[in-house]
Structure formats: C-alpha cells, structure tokens
Amino acid sequence: MTGVPAGTAPTSLGFRRKTGLPIGPILALTLSGALAACMVSAPGQTGAASNDQPSAAVEAGGGGAAQSVQVIHSVAHTATRLVSADGQTRPLRTAQVTARASGIVEALHAHKGDRLSKDDPILSLSVPDFEARAAEAEARLIEARRTAENNAKLNARGLITEDSLQAARALLAAAEAGWAAIEEERDNLTLRAPFAGTLASLDAEIGETISDGAQLGQLMDLSSLLVEITVPQINISDISLGQDAAVTPVGGEKIIGTVRYISPAADSATRSFPVEVVIPNSGRQIRAGMSASVGLAGKSFKAHEVPSAYLALSGAGELLVKTYEQGVVKAWPVEVVSFGPRAVTVTGLPMEASIITVGQGFVRDGDAAALEDAQ
C-alpha cells in the first residue's frame, strides 16, 4: 500500500504491486475459465468445475486497510426461463380410406394429393347383382305400402279383421327394413372423405376387385399441425395446457402455437414428458414430418444482467458476483440462466446491488472497501 503522511487524511486508497507477472492478464484468464466452466455445466447448476487451488480473484485480497473499488448499480428485472425442445410435425387428424364393401372399382373421383371437403367422394364400387336386388327391394316396398294402405281402409269399414291389418303392416315393416339395407349397401359402395383434408395416398385402379375392409389410402387434415416434443422432468412444472409456444419449422418462420397435451407420465427410458403443440397451417405451407424447434416460456423470476468480466470463481468452484455494501465486500454465489454477447443473466443477487467492477479481483468476502469515483 502507498504510504500516507501522518496526520493527513487520505483522499483515496491505492495499491502498489510488486514487479513480475502482470495481474490483469491473470485475472482475465481466471474469469474466462469461470465462464467456460459455467457454459459447460448442466442447466440449472450454479457451480462451475471445482478447483482445489483458489483463483487469483480469491487469493488476492485486502489487508487491514480498505481497498479502493468502483461499482455499478444494478436493479433486478423480471426474466423468464425459456424451455426449448426440438420436435416433429404431424397431421392434426389422419384417417385410413377403407373399403366398406366388396366390389369392383367403377370410378375414381379423387386422386393422390387432392384436397377434399367433408363427404366428397373418393371412389365408387360396383356389385354385379346389386341393381337387381335394389329393384326387387323397391318393388316389394311399393307393394307392401299399397297393401297396408288398402287393408287400413278395409279395416275401417269392418271388411277385414284386425289380424289381417297387423299382418299387412308387418309385411310393410319388413319391406322397409329390406330397402334400408339396400340404401346402406349403396352408400357403402361410394367411399367418401370423413373430414376435410388432403388425400395423401390412394392405391386403387378402375376395374380392380376390392375386398371389404381393404385399406386403399390415407386422408390427412393439414389445416393445423401437431408438433410433438419431449420436455425434461426438471422443466415440466413450468409448462401448462393452453399456453403459447413459439414454433420455428426448418427453413420457415416462427409461428405461435398452443400447448394441447401434456403426458401425465414420463417416458420410462428418458424421464422426459411427451408434449403436443398445435399450430395453424391454413395455407398448408408446413408439411407433416418436418423438424421444428419449440420455445416455451417457463416461470418468471428476478435476475440481474451482469457483464461477464465481473464474474469471479470461488475456490469451491462457485461463480460469484462481488458487491459493495456499506464499506464491506459481499461475495454472492450466482446461477447463470442465460448468456448474452456481453453480459450474462444471473440469479442469486438481492433486488438492488452495487456490483464491484474495478478492484473486484483484489477483494474477498468480508473485506473492507472504499468507493472510488470512476475516472
């Protein structure tokens, strides 16, 4: 320390170091090591790689006299932890185009890649004896209706018994059931789109014989897409149904989606939770199966933006920020939650803090310090 004549009050405190290795480069290397250790740590950990030997920032310290320091005043702001995950898009709905009757392909009304509305025809089948059976069922129905109507009139005049009337009505009911079966069969001979979507595939040709239950193609609803991601168990409590999610498909622009599903159980192998995000896709610009990155806003917290040069490393491997409090140095263990080009966002400091800048490499927790005006 520089000497002060007796009886004269010092205007500022300074220090003189011995010649040899320069302290500046050593301190810079120490802080660079601290940041590198923090950056390779797992998210959520406050410690960097431990070091048995204290850093230069730790070993350097004040003696009995107060060390001159300069500070910047920092006020905590509200920050949000971002949960990021990569996923894959898939259709909102998918349906198999399945034959509901056996027959011969008579007509193709749609082709692979076509956009269909609900109930649009896809293909029609024909059955050799269907028209004959349909004509017979229709004639039986007409005759049964005529007989039932005539018997009702005769019964009203007392010319036939009630039993004869009920028998005619039974025959009418049977004829109506037969006709309903024909109508159902006719409907099954035409395959229709169950919802609006894109015909992703169709494997059928005119004249081909199709069996009942055969899968002939696939219909996809691409008006909206689902993005399937997995969220680590440490972050799952930050996610809620209905919250917004920023989705960026590969080669595309960011789209705001909504969390639609959160699995109630973690995957037994990865201990992560499947989550589904639904995004609009009215223009069909995004295709199913594309990779996409998803950003979800987690819980909010109070944090400080601290220039990376003002971080220190403790002998135990903890990242520290040193503050000035009423003439005393306080070293706060901090957690880095995000990195910026010139500063890092940290938690662990009080709401307001006077962060030591100049001289922070030469003081330790509990040392006396004196504020020095910045030059």
Same fold, 23-81+301-371 and 83-92+220-298: no
Among the listed residues 297, 289, 264, 298, the one whose alpha carbon sits nearest the alpha carbon of residue 87: 289
Say how far apart CA 170 and CA 178 lie, in whole Å.
Answer: 12
Buried b (16+ CB within 10 A) or exposed e, 357-366: bebbbbbbee
Q: How far apart are CA 309 and CA 321, in angstroms?
A: 10
Would you kindly state where each structural domain of the chain is located, as residue ranges?
A: 23-81+301-371, 83-92+220-298, 98-217
CA–CA dist 194, 121 (Å, integer): 10
What pLDDT is stored for residue 372 in this prediction?
84
pTM above 0.85, yes or no: no
CATH numeric code, 23-81+301-371 = 2.40.420.20
The domain 83-92+220-298 is classified under which CATH number: 3.30.300.30, 1.10.287.1260, 3.40.1260.10, 2.40.30.170? Answer: 2.40.30.170
Residues of the chain short of pLDDT 50, as ranges, are: 1-63
Q: Specify the CATH number for 98-217; select among 2.60.120.10, 3.40.50.300, 2.60.40.1260, 2.40.50.100.
A: 2.40.50.100
CA nearest neighbour of 293 among 82, 42, 88: 88
Give Cα 105 to chain centroid, integer Å: 43
Q: How would you classify residue 156: left for phi > 0, otherwise alpha for psi between -120 and 50, otherwise beta?
A: alpha
Residues 117, 333 contacting (CB under 8 angstroms):
no
Q: One-letter amino acid identity for 194?
A: P
Q: Which residues, other chains included, contact 250 with Cβ-Cβ below 8 Å and sequence gap of 6+?
A: 290, 291, 292
